[in-house]
Amino acid sequence: MKTVVLGMSGGVDSSVAAILLKNQGYKVIGLFMRNWDSMLNNDILGNPDLENHSICPQEEDYNDAKAVCEKLGIPLHRVDFVKEYWDYVFTYFLDELKKGRTPNPDLMCNKYIKFDMFVKEAKKLGADYIATGHYAQMENGKLLRAVDHNKDQTYFLAQLSKEQLQNVLFPIGKLEKPEVRKIAEEYGLITARKKDSTGICFIGERNFTKFLENYLPNMPGDIVDIDSKEVVGKHIGLMYYTIGQRRGLHIGGSKERMFVVGKDLNKNILYISYGNTDYLISDSCIIDTVVFNCDERPTNCTAKFRYRQPDNEVELKYLDNGEILVQYPQGVKSVTPGQACVLYMKDQCIGSGIIKEVHKNQKKLWYL
């Protein structure tokens, strides 16, 4: 009997993954990761809900995972990756924000924690395979989109190498989300109707502004109309805004449609435009931190520049320094430095890079 160590998060997806693995005849061992310490990291003000909890939400997740494992008759172990998460994920997140970029810590959490530190711990428990509750599929060594395209999470797995994806199982990848909840209900699991987690990976749902105040100083500055060059309002800190954002601009009295088009980090200026979407459109970008999980190096494929964005046809030009020039002459809105460019060949996710520069007509956009 093969042993699978399953990442138990206390949510419905990993709970049902445990059921499916048991039914397939595996010896299943649960492993819960503790990656954040709200009190130690002094962020209680970032989550007012903590004041209404007798225990923090992460402890509730552990208790839910424990209850599920007890009901299914599988052992549950617990491991502390608080320091590793801080060193490899959260520090990266803060550094990117300081640069005025829009990072995606979930990709780095998967790269350095779930499919690195977790794997090492799983091997100590005798794992032949590791498994998670991600919506994705592995077939013949290929990372494929989940059957439920609305829940597909290959975007967040796209920084994993071919080696990291070896001996990995995604048990719920062939199921639609309603099917997952139905199975949990049939087994009477405490997680069956539990709300899906959102927010920053492993940090959870917090008031983002209050949370970041604990780690980075607010630097208010001017909001400038990029066309008129006039100051039209004040921002609360460039790190709180991303390209294409429409809400939270707080420009008093204005009812016009506006959105963020750029940042000047040196002058601490946030640029907005009133309805002119041309500023949001680019036709190429340069990506670094490139990872492929396959042997192919295509020149034509599709790419997502944001999680829920449709696929875009792109052409890849491989640069001598290991970076890639990604071209999309049809134009794409709101391609943003710091975000991931995830590459696909039909339903296969082949890798990704982090967006370094954004160009239009072969020129770097100065306001980005």
Domain at 114, CATH number? 3.40.50.620
CATH of residue 302: 2.40.30.10
* Same structural domain, 286 and 348: yes
Measured CA to CA in angstroms, residue 231 lies from 49, 146, 226, 359 at distances of: 37, 46, 9, 26
78, 118 in Cβ contact below 8 A? no
CA distance 228 to 274: 10
Q: pLDDT tens across 255-297, in order?
A: 678 999 999 999 999 999 998 999 999 999 999 999 999 999 9
Q: Is the pLDDT of residue 199 over 80?
A: no
- pLDDT at position 66: 97
Q: Long-range contacts: 318-326, Cβ < 8 Å, 24+?
A: 319/286, 322/288, 322/290, 323/286, 323/287, 323/288, 323/290, 323/353, 323/356, 324/286, 324/287, 324/290, 324/353, 325/284, 325/285, 325/286, 326/284, 326/285, 326/286, 326/287, 326/353
* Same structural domain, 230 and 316: no
Question: Is residue 243 very low, low, confident or very high in pLDDT (cuts 50, 70, 90)?
Answer: very high
* Same structural domain, 109 and 63: yes
* Same structural domain, 224 and 199: no
Mean pLDDT of the chain: 92
Strand 129-131, strand 168-169: pairing: parallel
- pLDDT at position 179: 98
Q: What is the DSSP letter of 89?
A: I
CA distance 353 to 34: 28
* Structure tokens given for 128: 């032949």
- pLDDT at position 317: 98
Q: pLDDT tens across 9-21, in order?
A: 999 999 999 999 9
309, 155 in Cβ contact below 8 A? no
Q: Report the helix count and the strand count for the chain, using DSSP H and E.
A: 8, 18
Between 117 and 57, the more confident residue is 117
Number of domains making up the chain: 3
Measure the CA angle with vertex 237, ends 248 and 111; round to 5°.
Answer: 90
Measure the CA angle with vertex 334, ends 330 and 338; round to 5°.
Answer: 120
Q: pLDDT tens across 105-138, in order?
A: 999 999 999 999 999 999 999 999 999 999 999 9
Would you please indicate which residues are annotated as catalytic (active-site) residues?
A: 109, 201
* Same structural domain, 21 and 169: yes
Measured CA to CA in angstroms, residue 310 lies from 193, 212, 222, 307 at distances of: 29, 30, 33, 9
CATH of residue 226: 2.30.30.280
* Same structural domain, 349 and 245: no
SS3 label, residue 54: coil
- What is the signed CA dihedral for 309, 312, 315, 319, rounded to 10 degrees? -10
Computed on alpha carbons and rounded to an integer, the radius of gyration of the chain in Å comes to 22
Q: Decide which of 235, 257, 275 is a domain's last residue.
A: 275
- pLDDT at position 366: 80
* Same structural domain, 337 and 196: no
Q: pLDDT tens across 29-42, in order?
A: 999 999 987 655 65
SS3 label, residue 289: strand
* Same structural domain, 137 and 9: yes
* Same structural domain, 171 and 47: yes
How many alpha carbons fall within 13 Å on the CB side of residue 324?
Answer: 26
Q: Decide which of 256, 275, 294 is a domain's last residue.
A: 275
- pLDDT at position 139: 97
* Same structural domain, 256 and 240: yes
- pLDDT at position 368: 73
* Same structural domain, 178 and 236: no
Name the helix (H) or strand (E) containing 327: strand 324-333
Residues of the domain holding 286: 278-364
- Residue 345: name the closest of 309, 307, 299, 291 by CA: 299
- pLDDT at position 37: 76
User: How much is the pTM?
Assistant: 0.93
* Same structural domain, 88 and 153: yes
Q: What average pLDDT does this structure show over 229-247?
A: 93
